[in-house]
Amino acid sequence: MSLFGALNTSLSGLRANQVALDVVSRNVANAGTPGYTKKISPRENALVAGQGQGVRILAVTRQVDARLQENLRGEESRSARLSTVADFLKRIDEMFGRPDMQTSLSYTMNEFANSMSELADNPENSGVRKAVVAQADMLARQLNQLSASIQDMRSEAENGLALGVEEVNNALKGIESLNREIANRQAAGLTTADLEDRRDMHLATVSANMDIRTIERGDGIVTVFTSSGHVLVNERAAQISFDSRQVLTPENAYSDDDYERNVGTLTLTSPGGNQVDLLKDGPPRQGKLAAYLELRDERLPEAQAQLDEIAHTLAMALSTRETAATPNATGSTLSFDFAAAPLQQTAAGDTLADGQSMNISYRVSGQERNLTVYFVEDPYNTSLLERVPDPDNSVFVAVPTAFPATPSMAQRIYDAVSGLVNVPSTLFTDPAGGEVLTANSSGSVVVNSFTMNQAWTDTADGPQLNLFRDGNSDRIVQQDYTGRLSDDKWAKVGLAGRIGVNTALLEDDSLLVRYTRADGVEVPDGDNSRPAMLLDRLTEYRYQYSADTGLGDASRPYRGTVLDLGRATVTYQGMEATTTISLAEDQAARTDLLNERHASLSGVNIDDEMAQLILLQSAYSASAKVMQTVDALFDDLLSLRR
């Protein structure tokens, strides 16, 4: 109202403009800083007793759309997960090789089969024999390396989890302290914009690692939840801990049972002291932690299972002795006599061993069916069903521990099979305690083949050959791999990392051709029956593969030759990698869009600031001018004389 009032008012205007200039300068300085949001200096008409007395500066605020930010964080979580997974899968794809290059696993397997075919043509040529041994060695080593690389990647994932957890913990602590400060300052009416920027950065760190939800409370505190509802930060921060195992091997796997689990798990300790195992109750679904968990527990073990299946099939295919059942005169039945050679027992534990199997393939009304009988030590062990490729069509029979076996082997098998629902009752005749097991073709049931498959470990007995054994280092004693099912530590897990060429072959490669026939005569040098049979096992025999490999499923397992399996594995990895990469790219595009929106809303535009600068400049000069004028008026006033 008075001149003094005007002076005060322009002073307030000057002050306001100063603050605004300060904000503009800060905006311009931080134009390129990531995470910086545009600040504005709001002002309001200063009302004192109902009358305006100038301009009042309010706390600097920032222009942020909270919902957009929340969305953006969610997308970035997703993006982080996909890009991490895609990264790892790409590495696996590259490891498995290019289609035409010699680095491909299926190429090595092919070359091995080719060298075996050359051996079948020139069995007496020692150069060719050495080539076969060398190719087998190369194949074993490639499997070893791939297995080692996969386990290395798993260890990387484990370490990544540890690092991520550390990051999250630090960020949560930061959020906790910032929450407190912001609450205090907001209560005092001070500006909290910069602190909020800092807090957003911490939130971004956390969301890059795991998917979170945030709720802003009225007092400025932001509460952070995991997507499953556990509180991460409220007034105080929770802590996540991870019991890392550092180095993982194929035996390290996740299990719900804490005694069996031998990989790390995430434990959330709330500020009150409650502990929650996040993997059992609400695991992170997005973010890098989710990516590492997925890789460590699903993707990489699947790749390992594929390699193990290849190793297992290679070892078993070449070393299995196949004995066919004897047909009767008219060909209507096929039977095995367990009291006659070669299945005859002469002492306990003599001929039948854990892991051996009997396979019958038959047709019922035109539909092809398969049934496998496995000989195991404890047929009531429920985990056995997980270890066979086709659990719906498998039965387990106890290996005899006493001699003679009671009940007889034939009776045991018959009893086990009659327990299956989908097997026709006329397929087997009741041996009535005897030793002969007979399969009948009658009516709509036609038996195609009935064979006994036993893994053979004597190199002199032929024509099968245990070319591959378990153990590939000079320091370990090489052991036979016979496909045993009953061990607690299943030998098939991690076999790819241990498989090696039989050392007996490295010393004497003529074992590839030489063997002793049933009548005690050793075959001559030029006889190609052994290499020919090995070649057939590699290229013509079709096997069933476990659903653990991701190929086929439990009701329709994947069937094919060993070479087919190699190819299918390489293709599978390639497809997985490509699919994930393209998902990651799509996600990146979506994230980019949101980022642009956010940036355009909250980011600094230099031109805008410059324009603002011009305005402020003129405002400042205007206020200064007002003061100057008031000053002149005062001078005029004071220079008033009578």
Contact residue for another protein among 39, 312, 387, 567 (CB under 8 A): 567
Please list every residue from 365 through 424 that binds another protein, using CB under 8 A.
none
Shortest Cβ 136–another protein spacing (Å)? 16
CA distances from 317 to 82, 321, 364, 543, 612 (A): 39, 9, 28, 9, 80
Contact residue for another protein among 25, 33, 45, 442 (CB under 8 A): 33
583 touches another protein (CB under 8 A): no
Q: Are 531 and 123 in contact (CB under 8 A)?
A: yes
Q: Are 100 and 630 in contact (CB under 8 A)?
A: no
Contact residue for another protein among 13, 16, 20, 36 (CB under 8 A): 36
Query: Taking contact as CB under 8 A, which single stretch among the options 121-129, 261-269, 317-325, 445-453 is the one that binds another protein?
Result: 121-129
535 contact partners, CB below 8 Å, separation of at least 6: 113, 116, 117, 119, 120
Of the candidates 387, 380, 329, 326, the residue with the CA atom closest to the CA atom of residue 357 = 387
Query: Taking contact as CB under 8 A, which single stretch among the options 205-213, 422-430, 445-453, 525-533 is the one that binds another protein?
Result: 525-533
595 touches another protein (CB under 8 A): yes
6 touches another protein (CB under 8 A): no
Backbone angles phi, psi at 371, to 5 degrees: -140, 135
State the amino acid at position 511 in one-letter form: L
* Cα distance between residue 463 and residue 517, in whole Å: 8
Of the candidates 138, 144, 132, 212, the residue with the CA atom closest to the CA atom of residue 172 = 212
Q: How many CB atoms lie within 10 A of CB 292?
A: 26
34 touches another protein (CB under 8 A): yes
Beta strands in 180-325 (DSSP E): 212-216, 222-226, 231-233, 239-242, 266-269, 275-277, 320-324
120 touches another protein (CB under 8 A): yes
Contact residue for another protein among 578, 619, 624, 627 (CB under 8 A): 578
Q: Which is nearer to another protein, 22 or 121 (CB)?
A: 121
Q: Which is nearer to another protein, 174 or 574 (CB)?
A: 574
Q: Are 573 and 92 in contact (CB under 8 A)?
A: yes
Q: How many CB atoms lie within 10 A of CB 393?
A: 19
Query: Taking contact as CB under 8 A, which single stretch among the options 401-409, 417-425, 472-480, 591-599 is the one that binds another protein?
Result: 591-599
Write out the H or E segment, with its range, that includes residue 353: none
Contact residue for another protein among 31, 183, 619, 626 (CB under 8 A): 31
Query: DSSP assignment of 7-23, as one string?
Result: HHHHHHHHHHHHHHHHH
Per-residue H/E/C for 382-424: HHHHHHCCCHHHEEEEECCCCCCCCCCHHHHHHHHHHCCCCCC
Contact residue for another protein among 518, 637, 638, 640 (CB under 8 A): 518
Query: Taking contact as CB under 8 A, which single stretch among the options 205-213, 305-313, 520-528, 621-629 is the one that binds another protein?
Result: 520-528
Q: Which is nearer to another protein, 103 or 269 (CB)?
A: 103
Which pair of tokens denotes residue 85? 């997974």
604 touches another protein (CB under 8 A): yes
* Cα distance between residue 148 and residue 491, in whole Å: 16
Contact residue for another protein among 253, 588, 622, 626 (CB under 8 A): 588
Contact residue for another protein among 76, 93, 200, 390 (CB under 8 A): 93
539 touches another protein (CB under 8 A): yes
97 touches another protein (CB under 8 A): yes
Shortest Cβ 189–another protein spacing (Å)? 29
596 touches another protein (CB under 8 A): yes
Shortest Cβ 425–another protein spacing (Å)? 30
Shortest Cβ 141–another protein spacing (Å)? 21
Q: Which is nearer to another protein, 399 or 512 (CB)?
A: 512
186 touches another protein (CB under 8 A): no
Q: Which is nearer to another protein, 5 or 327 (CB)?
A: 327
Query: Taking contact as CB under 8 A, which single stretch among the options 104-112, 154-162, 406-414, 626-634 is the one that binds another protein?
Result: 104-112
110 touches another protein (CB under 8 A): yes
Contact residue for another protein among 257, 540, 553, 636 (CB under 8 A): 540
Q: Which is nearer to another protein, 50 or 520 (CB)?
A: 520
342 touches another protein (CB under 8 A): no
Q: Which is nearer to another protein, 187 or 610 (CB)?
A: 610
589 touches another protein (CB under 8 A): yes
Contact residue for another protein among 517, 615, 621, 634 (CB under 8 A): 517
Q: Strands across the sheet with 266-269, in order?
A: 239-242, 266-269, 275-277
Please list every residue from 546 through 565 that binds another protein, using CB under 8 A.
563
Q: How many CB atoms lie within 10 A of CB 513?
A: 28
CA distances from 138 to 315, 318, 635 (A): 15, 17, 102
* Cα distance between residue 150 and residue 548, in whole Å: 16
Shortest Cβ 122–another protein spacing (Å)? 7
Shortest Cβ 529–another protein spacing (Å)? 8
Contact residue for another protein among 24, 493, 577, 630 (CB under 8 A): 577
130 touches another protein (CB under 8 A): no
Contact residue for another protein among 2, 32, 50, 188 (CB under 8 A): 32
R_g of the chain, CA atoms, integer Å:
38
Per-residue H/E/C for 456-521: CCCCCECCCCCCEEECCCCCCCCECCCCCCCCCCCCCCCHHHHEEECHHHHHCHHHHCCCECCCCC
Of the candidates 591, 567, 612, the residue with the CA atom closest to the CA atom of residue 106 = 567
Contact residue for another protein among 6, 434, 571, 627 (CB under 8 A): 571
Q: Label residue 340 exposed, middle or buried (CB < 10 Å: 0-12, 13-18, 19+).
A: exposed
177 touches another protein (CB under 8 A): no
Q: Label residue 491 exposed, middle or buried (CB < 10 Å: 0-12, 13-18, 19+).
A: buried
Contact residue for another protein among 614, 615, 632, 633 (CB under 8 A): 614
Shortest Cβ 567–another protein spacing (Å)? 5
Contact residue for another protein among 60, 303, 568, 584 (CB under 8 A): 568
Shortest Cβ 413–another protein spacing (Å)? 23
CA distances from 435 to 247, 345, 438, 442, 624 (A): 51, 11, 10, 22, 116
* Cα distance between residue 411 and residue 77, in whole Å: 60
CA distances from 110 to 444, 563, 569, 634 (A): 40, 7, 14, 103
Q: Which is nearer to another protein, 184 or 617 (CB)?
A: 617
523 touches another protein (CB under 8 A): yes
131 contact partners, CB below 8 Å, separation of at least 6: 115, 118, 119
Q: Which is nearer to another protein, 221 or 570 (CB)?
A: 570
